[in-house]
Amino acid sequence: MQRTTLTLAAATLAAALMHVPAYAQTADDAGPSPASEPESAQTTRLGDDLKAFATAPLRWRRREWLRFGGIAAAVGVAYQYDDDVRAHYANDGEPNHHEVADSMPPAIVFGATWFAAKLGRNEEARREAAAMRRAFVLQTISTEVIKVAFRRERPGPGVPRDHWNDGGLSFPSGHTAAAFAIGTVLAESGDDRHRRLRRVIGYGIGTAVAYQRVNHDAHWFSDSVAGAALGIATAKFVMKRREGAEPRGEFALRPMEGGTMVTYTVPLRR
């Protein structure tokens, strides 16, 4: 059972740490919104996304494996500095006291996007909120699988960095993954007029949350690095999947003089 769990976790982490680059998501290429389809269709798509995400390494080529190796190496380097980083902050804190506060920045971004979509009837904001929601769900499931598999102990007085398989849930940082998942969607969505500002806010939120998780002694440095990679990867995955959605045609009956006309409309991309 443990071997199966570790295998699943390794596949999920591999898919998380290296994925296809994201491109700016606009209203023209974002694909159909989950809100416009039946709930059963949305559930099916989530299952498809999870399956595609976890099995992505099976379809990788040399370039993808090289990228994964580089990012995995970065996590490994961070692991070597875990004790030094923790000693630098010298904070044997109580991380549970900061759980809500550390969750607020990405929650505010998602809430603002959602309200812009609902109150302002902003179609682009609606698509962004849908992508944020899907990226958040995907990273949450992936994070929990990896946490349970590796069971790393959280930092604390007398806890060594290599305390694995002992019931802890430290690796990777879920707060950091969530912040980067939502922040990356914000950073890479919309047009290029506000790209710099979007990236500063989006990636800045992720970086701030990652910093606070280490500063509050809730995670090791390598936990936050892995969480950042996981969050960015899930966001890019969701956005890329939406970009690849094919436009859907629609039949309609339209009244006309002397009868009824059958039409078939296909949305075209610019």
pLDDT of residue 258: 56
C-alpha to C-alpha distance for 7 and 209, rounded to whole angstroms: 29
Taking the model in full, what pTM does it have?
0.75
Which segments in the chain show pLDDT lower than 50?
A: 1-44, 246-253, 260, 262-270
DSSP for 149-179, please give it.
HH-PPPP-TT--TT--SSS---SS-HHHHHH
Q: State residue 93's pLDDT score.
A: 62
Which residues neighbour 99 within 8 Å (Cβ) at sequence distance 6 or greater?
175, 218
* Domain assignment of residue 55, yes or no: yes
Q: Pairing state of beta strands 250-256 and 259-265? A: antiparallel
Structural contact between residues 106 and 179, judged by C-beta atoms closer than 8 angstroms: yes
270 in a structural domain? no
What pLDDT score does 156 carry?
Answer: 87
Q: So what's the pLDDT on residue 124? A: 87
Q: Which domain holds residue 37?
A: 2-265
- In the chain, the number of structural domains is 1
Q: How crowded is residue 39: how many other Cβ atoms within 10 Å of its Cβ?
A: 9
